[in-house]
Structure 1
Amino acid sequence: MNTLIAYGTKYGCAQKCAMELAKELDGNVELVNLKEKGTVNLSGYDRVIIGGSVYIGRIQKEVSEFISANLNVLLKKEVGLFICGMQEGDMMEKEIADNFPAELISKAKSVKNFGGEFIFKKMNFMEKAIVKKVSKISSDRSDIHHDNIKKLAMDLN
């Protein structure tokens, strides 16, 4: 089975999660950072896993554009979806619904929240200020849900 993991990342959390996921999957796995490679020929893949990190409620533009450009093909493939972010519960469910088309969510074999992290040295001044004010966090924090990465892999293997 040939699998593509197509992701968008701003500070590297989604990439870190995608790499961890790739190690858990059976078959051949290719990782593609959509920011570096905008167009991907999906014909050689049996399944496609799409994910990215969410900032201020939005996933990376590259992820949205990839889905829009390939939606008809994606709906014919085995699909998994993931999102990286620090929201939990209903807020995370809303972010998933807001960032992936409903027909893709319903087609997906698995949809998971991989958690997220705040690494302050990677943020600019304004981003640090927003995180401190909104999240009440003032130092680095990693809350990656490794169990959800494994669950998505199990769902698709």
Structure 2
Amino acid sequence: MKAIILYTSRHGCAEQAALALQSRMGEGTEAVNLMHTPPPSLAGFDTVIMGGSIYYGKIQKQMSEFVDREITALADKRIGLFICAGESEDKAGLELLRSFPESLYLKAKAAEVLGSEVKFSKLSLAERLVYRAVTGKSGDRGRLYTNRIDHFVSKLLR
């Protein structure tokens, strides 16, 4: 199985999740941050994992634009979807549902919230002000869910 992990990460949580997935998926799995690198052709991959962090309730536009552009090419691929979100479990689950087209979500072999990390120290001043105003919190918090990462990979490899 040839796999690629396409992700968007601004402050590092989704990148950590993507790299954890890559290490568990096996040799030859590529990982590409769409915020810095254009995606390769999907023709050579049978498994495509996509994910990113949620900001202000949405996944980054680079991921949304990629999915919209490649939805037809994704139809015959094994799909995995993930997000990292700073919200509660219920809200994060809804954000996962809203981050990808319903047809892609329903087709996915694995779809999961893989982290809830907020790296307050990496936020811009504007992001810190908004985050503090909305949540009343400051400081780094959260973590990656390694048990979910393991489960996600086992579902994809079945």
Specify the TM-score bucket, using the shorter chain as the normaliser. Answer: over 0.9
Q: CA RMSD in A?
A: 1.3
Partner residue, 1:129: 129
CA–CA distance in 2 between the matches of 1:10 and 1:19? Answer: 14
CA–CA distance in 2 between the matches of 1:103 and 1:94? Answer: 16
Partner residue, 2:89: 89
Unaligned runs of 5+ in 2: none
> Normalised by the size of structure 2, how large is the TM-score?
0.93
From the two aligned structures, give the one with the greater strand fraction.
1
Partner residue, 1:100: 100
* Maintained 8 Å contact 1:7/1:34: yes
Whether 2:115 is the aligned partner of 1:115: answer: yes
* Maintained 8 Å contact 2:17/2:115: no
Whether 2:62 is the aligned partner of 1:67: answer: no
How far did residue 45 of structure 1 move?
0.4
CA–CA distance in 2 between the matches of 1:19 and 1:70? Answer: 23
* Maintained 8 Å contact 2:121/2:139: no
Unaligned runs of 5+ in 1: none
Partner residue, 2:48: 48
Whether 2:137 is the aligned partner of 1:143: answer: no
Q: How many residues align?
A: 157
CA–CA distance in 2 between the matches of 1:153 and 1:56? Answer: 28
> Normalised by the size of structure 1, how large is the TM-score?
0.94
* Maintained 8 Å contact 1:38/1:62: no
